[in-house]
């Protein structure tokens, strides 16, 4: 084996990390009485304030029917409220109720607590390097994504601009046409 990291090991490690965080996230939000999808809506509304339904759906990357079901449940629970859009009488906006703001803070506190526990298990001398390495990894993922599908990362991962600040990501560089479609990645079949 050469001194270069193995891409298969990277993929396996990322897959395991994503799965473990997903399990933790489900447990965290269940403690707060919401699903992961509902927690994502609460988080987005807490960060952005009231939003048009279409904007919220795009921010979350979900279909309008899925958004409607999640919002109906959140509204029935008293966590969100719909209001007329002052800029467009045909549109509605949705925002957090006072109870919804409390629920959003509770979910955020659960997630922060989990992240703190994870960091506490990493030796003090390596914590900053681990976080910095994750930021480098995110910047690399963004760069590769931008080469394949310009704008896709920012569209699917709004709010992460600050997470990779100073890492060279988000340069606005445009890549070739997306090669991720039915013809395959990276221009296969071109």
Residue 6 pLDDT > 80: yes
CA distance 101 to 189: 49
CATH tag, 1-121: 1.10.10.10
* Per-residue pLDDT at 139 exceeds 50: yes
- Cβ atoms of 36 and 29 within 8 Å: the answer is yes
Q: What is the mean pLDDT of residues 94-120?
A: 91
Question: Following DSSP, what letter does each residue of 55-121 receive, concatenated?
Answer: HHHHHHT--HHHHHHHHHHHHHTTSEEEEEETTEEEEEEEEE-HHHHHHHHHHHHHHHHHHHHHHHT
> Which has the higher per-residue pLDDT, 63 or 155?
63
Among 34-43, 51-60, 78-87, 162-171, which is the least confidently predicted range?
A: 162-171
The residues of the chain that CATH labels 1.10.10.10 are: 1-121
pLDDT-above-70 percentage for the chain: 78
First-to-last alpha carbon distance for the chain, in angstroms, is: 34
Q: Which of 108-112, 136-140, 160-164 has the lowest mean pLDDT?
A: 160-164
User: So what's the pLDDT on residue 190?
Assistant: 38
**Mean pLDDT, to the nearest integer, of 83-109?**
90
Q: What is the mean pLDDT of the chain?
A: 80
Q: What is the pLDDT of residues 152-182, one digit of tens each?
A: 777 666 555 544 444 333 333 333 344 554 3
pLDDT, greater one: 82 or 164: 82
pLDDT at 186 over 50: no
Q: What is the pLDDT of residue 5?
A: 75
Predicted local distance difference test score (pLDDT) of residue 56: 93
Separation of alpha carbons 157 and 11, rounded Å: 19
Query: How far from 101 is each of 15, 104, 137, CA to CA, in Å?
Result: 32, 5, 32
Please name the residue that has the structure tokens 């958004």. 67
pLDDT of residue 155: 64
Query: How far from the centroid of its chain's Cα atoms is residue 54's Cα?
Result: 17
Query: For 7-23, what is each residue's pLDDT tens digit?
Result: 889 889 889 988 888 88
Reported confidence tier of residue 69, pLDDT bands at 50, 70, 90: very high
Burial 3-35 (b: 16+ CB within 10 A, else e): eeeeeeeeeeeeeeeeeeeeebbeebbeebebe
């Amino acid at each position: 084996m050469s001194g270069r990291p193995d891409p298969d090991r990277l993929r396996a490690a990322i897959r395991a990390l994503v799965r473990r965080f997903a399990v933790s996230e489900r447990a965290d939000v269940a403690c707060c009485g919401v699903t992961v999808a509902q927690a994502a809506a609460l988080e987005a509304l807490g960060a952005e304030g009231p939003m048009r339904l279409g904007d919220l759906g795009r921010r979350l990357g979900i279909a309008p029917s899925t958004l409607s079901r999640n919002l109906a449940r959140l509204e029935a629970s008293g966590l969100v409220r719909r209001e007329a859009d002052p800029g467009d009488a045909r549109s509605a906006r949705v925002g957090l109720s006072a109870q919804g703001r409390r629920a959003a803070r509770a979910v955020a506190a659960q997630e922060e607590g989990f992240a703190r526990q994870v960091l506490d298990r990493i030796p003090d001398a390596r914590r900053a390097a681990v976080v910095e390495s994750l930021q480098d990894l995110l910047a690399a993922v963004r760069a590769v994504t931008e080469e394949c599908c310009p704008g896709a990362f920012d569209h699917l991962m709004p709010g992460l601009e600050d997470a990779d600040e100073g890492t060279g990501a988000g340069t606005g560089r445009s890549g070739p046409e997306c090669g991720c479609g039915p013809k395959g990645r990276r221009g296969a079949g071109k």
